[in-house]
Amino acid sequence: MKGTVWQRLDFVARNLAPFLVSLCLVVASVIPLRLPHASFIVPALALMAVYYWGLHRNDLLPAPAIFFIGILQDILSGGSIGVNALIFLVAYGICVSQRRFFYGKAFLVVWWGFMVVAAAALIIEWAINVAITETIISPGPAYYKYLATIALYPVVAWLFARIQRTLPVVE
Amino acid sequence: MAKRPESFQRVAAPLRAMAQRFAFLFLLVAAGGVLLAGKADPKIFDRTRMVVTDTLAPVLDALSRPIATWAAIVDEVQYLTDLREQNTTLRAENTRLVQWHTVARNLAAENERLRGLLRFVPDQSSQFISARVIADSGGTFVRSMLVNAGQRDGVRKGLPVVIGEGLIGRVVDIGDRASRILLIDDLNSRIPVVVGPDRERAVLVGDNSRRPKLMYLAANAQVRQGARIMTSGQGGVFPPGIPVGVVAFIDANGVRAESFVTNSDLEYVRIIDYGLTGALDDDRRDGIAKEF
């Protein structure tokens, strides 16, 4: 292997960055913001990570990592375990299969793609929750969550893009 | 020899792609399986859930502190800007409260006398555990939060959780140093209550909206907007008399309540131990089930 131990360690740490950032976003999404009514409109932060890395560097965020992130989100948010794992995997599947289409496209196109994926994810989440609780849940909160999520995506994507620039490239 | 890696690549690449696809499908099925298993027996993942939560509790605790400080600064600025107006309101309120204070003292004295006459047995004394909110569920489909007090602080499953004004929820999961509180506007929350001065019985049902529903009111119940809602103590989970909220509005679809959860900035909560072992005490329920 080339390079010193430190260089190799640095290489591994950089490759782990997408996964660690995703974990941080899961934790960040449950931190109480203490703003009035804020708890009703918390954006789906981890979904942004799943979408971004699924499109741009799915080699660094493989399916088992997505599953793990989803389970952690379920545990911390107190919801039924498996819901987010399933949704993230579905979103990830869409991203990986469509990444050729989005390759090299303008940010607006990628953002539009996120709007579609996030809508699908939240509709599935709502449907699963309706099925689990066997009651019709008002879709209002999910709608606000959707708006907050797509509105915040450019900021988070900008952050991801900065991280991506520091990542080692594989041919 | 030179060709070998290339031919290896030719065989390995599709194999790897297939393995990845297989792993993806396997995980998808696994997620679905976990979901169904959790639906069949909600207690199956309780331990995992609390072990993970307990492990992450110190991290969440540390992270929630700077946010709290920031919120305190915002509050301070807001407070300073409204100082004048607040002062006027408080003066007016103070005058009114002094009158109420006299009334309350008279009533307390009278109550004491009457209790003496009746040989009234007072309620059991209660203990408080104060805890800090360290995580919030996000609230789209679940209304719950984590606090930094657990079994080692004396928290038990089913204990009511209050803030200054009144009830906000109850403890549903306990770890060693953290516990989860189900808020009263969650879909799974059902609280027996009494409404208004006539003490009409009802059940406060959370439906994930800001205003929980009041259900099972008697057909001839007289409920007015603004009437106070308190726990009735039925079922033995909550002690009677904890304020829960007020009636927000009444329309064709039913009666909605304004709870104390929605508009509150929840940082610290109090978990009350009244020494009740209610319907939510799983160990006791399992014990009873075994006896039969």
Render pLDDT for A92-117 as a digit per residue (tens, 0 to 9). 999 988 888 888 888 999 999 999 99
- Looking at residue A36, its pLDDT comes to 59
Give the mean model confidence (pLDDT) for residues B200-208: 88
Res B124: pLDDT: 66
Question: Which chain A residue shows the shortest CA-CA distance from B23?
Answer: A63
- Please list the residues that pair with B246 across neighbouring strands: B228, B258
* Nearest partner of A131 among B35, B196, B80, judged by Cα: B35
Residue B32: which of A79, A90, A64 has the closest Cα? A90
Q: Does A15 touch chain B (CB under 8 A)?
A: no
pLDDT at A71: 94
Instruction: Find out whether A82 and B34 touch, Cβ atoms under 8 Å.
Output: yes
Q: pLDDT for B250-282, tens place per residue?
A: 888 888 988 877 655 678 889 988 776 655 555
Contacts of A160 (CB under 8 A, 6+ apart): A18, A21, A48, A49, A52, A53, A56
CB B260 within 8 A of CB B251: no
The H-assigned helical ranges of A5-57 are: 5-30, 45-56
| Interface touch A141/B34, C-beta < 8 Å | no
Residue B77 in contact with partner chain A when CB distance is under 8 A = no
- In this prediction, residue B98 carries a pLDDT of 93
What is the C-alpha separation between B244 and B229, in angstroms, rounded? 5
To the nearest whole angstrom, how far is the Cα of B215 from the nearest Cα of chain A? 15
Query: For position A170, what pLDDT does the model report?
Result: 62
For chain A, positions 140-159, list CB contacts with chain B under 8 A: 140-142, 145
How many CB atoms within 10 Å of residue B32?
15
> 């660094």: which residue's tokens?
A60
Work out the number of other CB atoms within 10 angstroms of the CB of residue A16: 14
Average pLDDT over residues B30-34: 92
Average of pLDDT values for A40-62? Answer: 88
What contacts 24+ positions apart, CB below 8 Å, involve A107-112?
A: A107/A154, A107/A157, A110/A55, A110/A157, A111/A150, A111/A153, A111/A154, A111/A157
Q: What does the alpha-carbon distance between residue B168 and residue B231 come to, in Å, rounded to a whole number?
A: 11
Partners of B263 on chain A (C-beta within 8 Å) are: 36
- Compare all CA atoms of chain A with the CA of B67 and give the residue at the minimum distance: A33
Q: What is the mean pLDDT of chain A?
A: 87
Query: What type of residue is A60?
Result: L
- Between CA B149 and CA B173 the distance in angstroms is 11
ipTM for the predicted complex comes to 0.84
Say how far apart CA B104 and CA B127 lie, in whole Å. Answer: 24
Establish if A78 touches chain B: CB-CB under 8 angstroms.
yes
When pLDDT is averaged across residues A32-55 and rounded to a whole number, the result is 80
Asked if residue B146 lies in contact with residue B178, where contact means CB atoms within 8 angstroms, the answer is: yes
B126 with B239: CB under 8 angstroms?
A: yes
Measured at the CA of A138, the angle between CA A134 and CA A142, to 5 degrees, comes to: 110
Predicted confidence at residue B286, as pLDDT, reads 52
Enumerate residues 6+ apart whose C-beta is below 8 A from B24: A63, A89, A93
Give every CB contact of residue A40 below 8 A, 6+ residues apart in sequence. Answer: A141, A144, B139, B140, B210
In angstroms, what separates the C-alpha of A136 from chain B's closest C-alpha?
Answer: 9
In angstroms, the CA A117 to CA A112 distance is 9
Torsion-angle region of residue A3: left (phi > 0), alpha (psi -120 to 50) or beta? left
Q: What's the confidence (pLDDT) of residue A160? A: 92
Name the pLDDT band for A135 (thresholds 50, 70, 90).
confident
Please give the structure tokens belonging to residue B195.
């409404």
pLDDT band at B6 (very low <50, low <70, confident <90, very high): low
To which residue do tokens 């499953």 refer? B157
Mind listing the pLDDT tens digit for each residue in B44-101?
Answer: 888 888 889 899 999 888 888 888 788 788 888 888 888 888 899 999 999 999 999 9
pLDDT at B4 (0 to 100): 54
| Contact at CB, B38 and A82, closer than 8 angstroms | yes
The residue assigned the tokens 């009278």 is: B110
Write out pLDDT tens, residues B182-203. 988 888 888 999 998 888 899 9
If one counts every other C-beta atom within 10 angstroms of the C-beta of residue B163, the result is 17
- DSSP element (H, E) containing A131: helix A107-133
Choice among A120-124, A133-137, B135-139, B281-285 with the minimum mean pLDDT: B281-285
Higher-confidence residue of B93 and B290: namely B93
In degrees and rounded to multiples of 5, residue B175 shows phi and psi of: -110, -170
Tokens standing for B32? Answer: 């679905």
Residue with tokens 């307990």: B54
